[in-house]
Amino acid sequence: MARFQLALLGATGMVGQKLVELLDAFPEFELAEVAASDARVGQTCAGRPLLSARSIQSPYVSSALPSSVATELEPLLVQRGHTVFSNASAHRMRRDVPILIPDVNPDHLRLVEEQTTPGKLITNSNCVVAAIAPPLSCLQRLSPIRHISVVTLQAISGAGYPGVSAMDIQANVLPYIAGEARKIQAETKKVLGDGKQDAGFSMMVHVHRVPVLHGHTAVLHVELEDAVSVQEISEALQMEPEIYSCYEDPLAPQPRVHIGDRDTKIHIGGIEVHGRRVGLRVLTHNLVRGAAWAALSNARFFVHAMEPVR
């Protein structure tokens, strides 16, 4: 099988390191180049010399750059003909850029046809949206959604390295993450829309940083237009065992117990139904499904959908 050459930007960060770790699950790709900040050029990562991001040659690029850098650099690479799969939030809300979750909105890939550049730009979602959008999509297939309330308990690794001060987070909960609630609202509506128009439900989000290393938990309360049953929801989720692990144990799921270092699953517990109102808990590994695995899955989906058979 021919392999696609892939460059990795931001290779030395937490998401970049997780991308390197997960690449063996994506045999379509050969890690041809790694890049980081100019201060690290010449050092090694994944057995390869670190390059300047502006000097890469590979046709496909997985970008784990911070948004402050991605804002300028990713469009430059796309203009040069590279196809960029970005983990950054910088360009997610552009109307011609898909926030792609292949399990949820594969048809949104068509948005790249509106991009007039030689290369293309595809983004994955915010790490919380990666966790909640698939089960919300499942509910949306059972009944239209009127309103969603989200309360998050987000791991400290989601803040990157060196992250949150130990003096602030130890034995504590921080009830604010700058810009996070707005991102979750906007991206969820875009992902669950039709690609041209955002979803029309209302949404309320409260975010919290908690002293957990890996694993974002979200509590969802969803108001539907029609009444559904716990059995209907459970059966719909269990039809996709490669995506969901569902628990009846009231103590599940827990970050330390139920997620592993390479865990791609969405773990769901606490399903309750009161007429048209549904409640559930969601847990995912924020660096895997929420970031690195999401970007690589988008790259795989793109090459299989857009490239000629090799």
The residue count for the chain: 310
The DSSP line for 151-201 is EEEB-GGGG-SS-S-HHHHTT--B---TTHHHHHHHHHHHHTS-SSS----
List the beta bridge partners of residue 224: 145
Distance from C-alpha of 283 to C-alpha of 239, rounded to nearest angstrom:
19
Residue 49 tokens, joined: 């010399």
Q: Which residues form the catalytic set?
A: 127, 216
57: enclosing H helix or E strand: none
Residue 285 tokens, joined: 């590994």
The residues near 55 (Cβ < 8 Å, ≥ 6 apart) are 35
Helix (H, G, I), strand (E, B) or coil at 123: strand
- Written as one letter, the residue type at 12 is T
